[in-house]
Structure 1
Amino acid sequence: MVLRNFRFWAIEGFEKTLTVGKFLCFFHLSSSYLSTSAMAIGPSMIPTIDLTGNFVLVERISTHLGKVGSGDLVLLRSPENPRKLVIKRIIGMEGDTVTYLVKPYENYESRTIVVPKGRVWVEGDNKYNSHDSRNFGAVPYGLVEGRLFWRVKMHFFHPALSSTDTCITFFSVKTFSN
């Protein structure tokens, strides 16, 4: 009797563990190869992404297929700190000529470069407060994690973050496409 009871609970526990394992495998594969989510906070992408934060969805298929291009918003690993993920806009792909202001807040000195093979030139939308390719150069394409395709403003979820001009739209969704 005790052995039969133990066998029942052992099989039941194994089946539950297998179900959880399948879910974790599916979650890992989908977040590694299909899409992932991130919380975007900071001034470098104002006005596209709010200073107070946006929840963004990132699809990874375009990156794996080489289908990202100029104008796309991308999630990438920082070349200076690989543990940090940043969101920037692709300004130039390999072979493109890019002219940029060295320090837009100080003077109007500009430089022109040709983006090297296997690299992309990324910049934040807020040129005056962004640490991007103007600081660390063209980024290897391998650091690009995915392309942003959906953004949710967080005012709905965090009412304390909303200001008077954004309280009217508690929830807004922006789809990125080129």
Structure 2
Amino acid sequence: MVLRKLWHHRSIVREAWHRTMAVANFLCGLHVTNTYLCTAALAYGPSMLPTFNLTGDLFLAERLSTRFDKVRPGDVVLVRSPEDPRKLIVKRLLGMEGDSVTYVVDPKNSSRCDTVVVPKGHVWIEGDNIYASRDSRQVGPVPYSLLEGKAFCKIWPPKEFGFLGQSGMKNPDL
């Protein structure tokens, strides 16, 4: 009896099945795109001033550069926090493995500098606002495997929409 009722409504069942599959395909495509190709992320707080606003900017980060070792000093990168793996942070990449990086140890209280050589398999990251950033100066070199993507386009606020360059780079000689 139930099968006979379904048989009479087969066009409705067929359409429901097709729509369900279309939604499932869309969600799978969205997951693959977000995980492996490109993702949207939010940068807020003072650490990346003036590249990103204090109140928050939405940007796109592509994930292929980190997988194929195509990030370079000066790039703004999306990083899994070495202190809290549930968080993603945004910083500027300043040194790759083998690079010597000179940094101001405590810019609020002195101008004392220190130099480190970035160890194999690590990178050196800093916020553009060294006075209000928790970065490699405090936690040391960050494993390359924590890099999640390279920021390439600011999409919010609309008046600042556009591609990110290396304009905020601290040391253009790198």
Does TM-score exceed 0.5, indicating one fold?
yes
Q: How far apart, CA to CA, are the structure 2 residues paired with 1:46 and 1:18?
A: 44
For 2:94, the equivalent position in structure 1 comes to 91
Task: Give, as a single letter, the amino acid of the residue that structure 2 aligns with 1:109.
Answer: R
Q: How far apart, CA to CA, are the structure 2 residues paired with 1:92 and 1:174?
A: 25
Which of 95, 103, 107 aligns to 1:104? It is 107
- Where do 5+ consecutive residues of structure 1 fail to align? 157-170
For 1:24, the equivalent position in structure 2 comes to 27
For 2:162, the equivalent position in structure 1 comes to 174
For 2:47, the equivalent position in structure 1 comes to 44
For 2:71, the equivalent position in structure 1 comes to 68
- Aligned-pair distance for 1:49? 0.7
Q: How far apart, CA to CA, are the structure 2 residues paired with 1:58 and 1:2?
A: 51
- Aligned-pair distance for 1:153? 4.1
Q: How far apart, CA to CA, are the structure 2 residues paired with 1:10 and 1:153?
A: 42
- Aligned-pair distance for 1:16? 1.3
Task: Give, as a single letter, the amino acid of the residue that structure 2 aligns with 1:37.
Answer: A
Assess, with a 3 A threshold, how the Cα gap between structure 1 residues 3 and 84 changes in structure 2: closer, same or farther: closer
Q: How far apart, CA to CA, are the structure 1 residues paired with 2:84 and 2:155?
A: 26
- Where do 5+ consecutive residues of structure 2 fail to align? 167-174
Measured against aligned partners, the alpha-carbon deviations of 1:83-104 in whole angstroms (never above 9, x if no partner) come to 1111000010000001111111
1:135 maps onto 2:138 in alignment: yes
Q: How far apart, CA to CA, are the structure 1 residues paired with 2:130 and 2:24?
A: 45
- The normalised TM-score by structure 1 is 0.86
Q: Compute the RMSD of aligned alpha carbons.
A: 1.4
Q: How far apart, CA to CA, are the structure 2 residues paired with 1:130 and 1:71?
A: 16
Q: How far apart, CA to CA, are the structure 1 residues paired with 2:15 and 2:161?
A: 43
- Aligned-pair distance for 1:10? 2.7
Q: How far apart, CA to CA, are the structure 2 residues paired with 1:152 and 1:9?
A: 41
Task: Give, as a single letter, the amino acid of the residue that structure 1 aligns with 2:126.
Answer: E
For 1:10, the equivalent position in structure 2 comes to 13
For 1:79, the equivalent position in structure 2 comes to 82
- The normalised TM-score by structure 2 is 0.88
Q: How far apart, CA to CA, are the structure 1 residues paired with 2:135 and 2:87?
A: 13
